[in-house]
Structure 1
Amino acid sequence: MRPQIFARYRPGRLARNGTILLGWMLLRASMQAATVVWLARQLGAQTYGQFVAVVAVSSFFSPFVGLGLSHILLRNAARDPAHAGHYLARALRWWLRTLLPCVAASVVVALWLLPERIALQALIVVAAAELSATSLTELCARHLQAQQRTHAFGAVHAGLPGVRLAAVGLLWASMGDAGIVAVLWTYAASGLIYAGLLWRPLRAAAKAPDAVLPEPMTARSGLPFSLAVFAAKLQSEFNKPMLAQAGFGLAGTYNVAQRVVDMASLPVLALQEALWPRLYAQANPVRQLLRTGAALLVLALAMGVALWLVAPVLPVMFGADFADAVAVLRMLAWLPLLQVLRALLNCHAIHYGRMQQIGWAYAIGGVVSVVSVAVLAPVYGLTGAVWASYAAEVTMVVFFLLSVLRKYQYSG
């Protein structure tokens, strides 16, 4: 068994796949960056903050569209490629069943959290577009990732921001000075168009969903992953409507700093995404996880140093309205280090089948995120939102570490 494991572990191939994926992620990031810079400079901190608050609230329930089965699809199709179409069909069936309830929930939460009312029709369309486009992109990408089609996986993820950037460009070319309503409708229309482009090839690749399959895939099997992504979504997006309560400008400022961190994290994320399907396909991936994980942590630390150094450039890029984003970026610079550690511990838990612990870890992290943002952001503003992000990550990392220690205590 051991020689087989080392035969399957090829660092050169992992690095090559990671480099290919990084190229697609850089393309995706450049289009996202262009969209963020364009909207921030054109709208200003106040109106841009209103835009990001609406989109953030609309995206809260995207992890529950499809019940997290995209992650089970990745695992099962990587292990059992002969039945990949059947796993895909089952995931698509639950995607259809959960889309409308999640759209309705998103609209209700938006009406509750946003301090200023947006037209109900616009909220419904934005929620439907955001939820369908992001969740279907994830489902399609995981289907391709399971086949280790790295170029296609990267292209699907890059397509959505590309369509959105093109739509925003057409909006300003045709209208010049666009308001918040026009931007929201354009953003929603581009998302719906992309979701439609993904739907047809997915339906064509799907086979009978009720076939007897070697790997388990029930409606509940992906819920721990839904909770995990939902907790991450709350941590990254719930601060927007809470900051908007004090002023939309605060939400816009925080979003700019956060997006810079997201873009800088792409090399680490690319290596992680290239690593996961290889680990799932191995009988004993712990050694590779330890070696590659150590390298990822060092890379995340170096990235944090770089972010701290380049933070003063933000007002030049986004405009003087975003001067406060410098301090926010420097505070957020070390968050990816914790996120990488949490992702590695999450992979360790999946390998040992501790799925319920994963669900509990992210559920607790989500609660900590919501409570800490609700308590700290109204009092301490941007600094409180940053503290809340760290509090949620530390909580989840500690929970996973305690689970690992208990496992080795019982096995010893």
Structure 2
Amino acid sequence: MASEGVKERAHKPFLSMIISYAASGGSLVIGSAAQLLTFAILARFLGVHEFSVFVAITAVANIAVHLCGLGAMECLVRRVARDRGMYPQMLGHNIILTSISGVLLVLLGAAVLPFFFTLSPDPAANVAVITLMLVTNIIFVRVIVLAEQIFLAHSNFASANKVVVGFALARTIAAALACIAFGVATVASWAVWQFVCHVIVALGCWRAVKGLGRPTYGIVREELPLGLYFSIPFILRAVRQNADLLVLSLVASAEVMSSYSVARRMLESSYLSVEALNRLIYPGSAKATAAGLHHAFERVRKVLFAATSISIAAAVAVFVLAPVLPYLFGKDYVSLVSFVRILCWVVVPLAMWSVAMEALGASGHHPARALVMGLGSVLGAALTAWATWYAPPTGTFISFYVIETAMVIVSWAVFLRFVRRDREQAGAASLSTGVVHGG
């Protein structure tokens, strides 16, 4: 009887993890499906020219949003996961950095982007619309994601999942109402709908987290460099992710460009199944690595196996379902199915190296993580741009596989190096303590 009780208790954490992952993965899949539907609605109703401008400005905002907050959200998850008492201080730290950096980024974008994009013939209206889009896609997106991260830091995965699903569904509903019900056909008109949608979701999120405690305003100085180390790789990665789109727009037809951008969106969506695992594992990894990365080695090895299996399943699913996409986006996307089927397998090496980088982040080894991801993004952007220019779009696809495979090798080499270092330091400290006590 006793042994049966022990087995039952041993199975409970595993069962709880499976249930949590199913909920986390399900929320991200639902959110991804909603985003894809939103993308399709806007692509159909805005038209080629308006939609291309919308995607371009959104791409700029996607780069800026990683800089907004200076990486403070990761610090919140890591510190609060280890010590709940740090929440008020880390929340205040986030609010200050998000507000200051967000305003500066919006002002910079509002000053520069009107020279490249025209959303209205009236110069003042053009600046106003672009500013509205930047506020929406930088500041309000950051506030909504912050609410999700707050719940993750408290291991409240159910509420975090509700934020993800609610945000995605709200955008889909807004796009359907704007384009289908009210006939919105310009980016300038959609910008207003998008802004209102984000304000409503942000207010709902802020109300949801109020009960967790009030912020204590102040800068946690030791977290500033770690936050920058964490955010810079994502900024560089965002630049790399847009290098192919920029060059392809110069050397390929509109159909190839459009089909490729949708294929890229499908790749990002398929990675969400792995991201669901990483976001679930991160708080626990932060606790497990508090005394050294080597304490979580077995945990990370199991996560690698799980992430690889999940990514293969996701790639197979995308490959099989690819022929359905033209019915959603339209028959004009002639190359869409072949592009998606070529690109879908990139998610496997992407998942493999992300596990190592997430483990380094959870353990606080942000400089090494930033170096690997930063150099990978810089060199990757250069290789992708050159390959795309030299042989579009074949060179683009080849560059993806070369870059992601190289990232797997380098990421795990660095991870294993830090595991050995932490293990050696722990052994030396243990030996030193034994000598002192023996003496």
Q: Structures share a fold, TM > 0.5?
A: yes
For 2:6, the equivalent position in structure 1 comes to none
Aligned to 1:140: 147
Once the two structures are overlaid, the 10-residue window that deviates more, 21-30 or 242-251, is 242-251
Deviations along 1:157-194, one digit per CA (max 9) or x if unpaired, are: 22322222222122124432613332344334423443
- Name the counterpart of 1:252: 258
Q: Superposed, which structure 2 residues align to 1:63-212 within 5 Å?
A: 63-107=66-110, 110=113, 117-118=118-119, 119-176=126-183, 178-199=185-206, 205-210=213-218
Do the aligned partners of 1:268 and 1:300 also contact (CA within 8 Å) in 2? yes
Q: Which of 245, 262, 272 does residue 266 from structure 1 map onto? A: 272
Against the structure 1 CA distance between its residues 104 and 240, is the aligned structure 2 distance closer, same or farther, given a 3 Å change threshold? farther
Amino acid of the residue matched to residue 54 of structure 1? I
In 2, the alpha carbon distance for the partners of 1:302 and 1:76 equals 33
Q: How far is 1:60 from its partner?
A: 1.1
Cα distance in 1, alignment partners of residues 49 and 203 from structure 2: 32
Residue 339 (structure 2) aligns with? 328
- 2:310 is matched with 299
User: Given the alignment, which residue of 307, 313, 318 partners 2:324?
Assistant: 313
- Could you tell me which of 403, 408, 416 is aligned with 1:397? 408
Segments of 5+ residues of structure 2 without an aligned counterpart are 1-8, 120-125, 290-294, 425-439
- Contact preservation (8 Å) 1:49, 1:253: no
**Counterpart position of 2:238:** 233
Q: Structure 1 unaligned runs (5+)?
A: 1-5
Equivalent-residue separation in structure 2 for 1:390 and 1:45 (angstroms): 29
What is the one-letter code of the residue matched to 2:240?
Answer: Q
Equivalent-residue separation in structure 1 for 2:397 and 2:54 (angstroms): 20
CA 1:238/1:196 → structure 2, altered by over 3 Å: closer, same or farther? farther
The reply to whether residue 339 of structure 1 matches residue 355 of structure 2 is no
1:13 partner amino acid: S
State the 1:13 CA deviation. 1.6
1:17-50 CA-to-partner distances (Å, cap 9, x unmatched) read 1111123223312321221222233345554333
- Return the alpha-carbon distance in structure 1 between the equivalents of residues 217 and 400 of structure 2: 39
Q: CA deviation at 1:147?
A: 0.9
Instruction: Give the deviation of 1:219 after TM superposition.
Output: 2.1
Asked if the contact 1:49/1:249 (under 8 Å) is kept, the reply is no
Aligned partner of 2:44 in structure 1 is 41
Tell me by how many angstroms 1:130 deviates.
0.3
What is the percentage of aligned positions where both structures have the same residue? 20
Per the alignment, do residues 307 and 70 of structure 1 end up closer, same or farther by CA in structure 2, a change over 3 Å counting? same
Q: How does 1:27-38 map to 2 (within 5 A)?
A: 27-38=30-41
- Which one-letter code corresponds to 1:124 in the other structure? T
SS of equivalent to 1:221: helix
C-alpha deviation, 1:98, in angstroms:
0.7
**Which letter does structure 1 place at the counterpart of 2:259?**
T
Partners of 1:82 and 1:48 in 2: CA distance:
46
1:28–1:161 CA contact under 8 A, matched in 2: yes
Contact kept, 8 Å, 1:25 with 1:158, in 2: the verdict is: yes
The match for 1:14 is 17
333-342 or 263-272: which moved more? 263-272
- Pair 1:62-2:68 in alignment: no
Structure 2 Cα separation of the partners of residues 26 and 168 of structure 1: 19
- Kept in 2, the 8 Å contact 1:14–1:275? The answer is no
Match of 1:70, SS?
Answer: helix
Q: 1:173 to 1:130 in 2, by over 3 A?
A: same
For residues 44 and 387 of structure 1, do their structure 2 counterparts lie closer, same or farther at Cα, with a shift above 3 Å needed? farther
Give the whole-Å Cα distance in 2 for the aligned partners of 1:232 and 1:309: 28
- Pick one of 380, 385, 397 that aligns with 1:369: 380
RMSD over aligned CA atoms reads 3.0
Aligned pair count reads 403
Amino acid aligned to 1:230: I
Task: Classify the secondary structure of the residue corresponding to 1:77.
Answer: helix
Residue 219 of structure 1 pairs with residue 224 of structure 2: yes
- Report whether the alignment pairs 1:280 with 2:286: yes
Q: Tell me how far apart the structure 1 counterparts of residues 243 and 51 of structure 2 sit (CA, whole Å).
A: 16
Structure 2: which amino acid aligns with 1:131?
I
Q: 1:34 to 1:185 in 2, by over 3 A?
A: same
Q: 1:302 to 1:68 in 2, by over 3 A?
A: same
Q: CA deviation at 1:266?
A: 3.2
In structure 2, what is the Cα distance between the partners aligned to 1:201 and 1:102?
27
Relative to structure 1, the CA distance from residue 362 to residue 265 in structure 2 (aligned partners, 3 Å threshold; closer, same or farther) is: closer
Q: Is contact 1:67-1:223 (8 Å) kept?
A: yes
Amino acid at match of 2:26: G
Q: Contact 1:45/1:321 (CA < 8 Å) preserved in 2?
A: no
| Greater mean deviation of Cα atoms: 63-72 or 366-375 | 366-375
Going from structure 1 to structure 2, the CA distance change for 1:77 and 1:223 (only over 3 Å counts) comes to: same
- Cα separation, 2, equivalents of 1:8 and 1:365: 40
**Which protein has the larger Cα radius of gyration, Structure 1 or Structure 2?**
2
Distance 1:122 1:392, change over 3 A: farther
TM-score under structure 2 normalisation? 0.81
Identify which of structures 1 and 2 has the higher relative contact order when contacts are C-alpha pairs closer than 8 Å and 6+ apart: 1
Q: Answer yes or no: is the 8 Å Cα contact 1:52–1:251 preserved in 2.
A: no
How far, CA to CA, are the matches of 2:60 and 2:173 in structure 1?
23
Between the aligned partners of 2:254 and 2:191, the Cα distance in structure 1 is 16
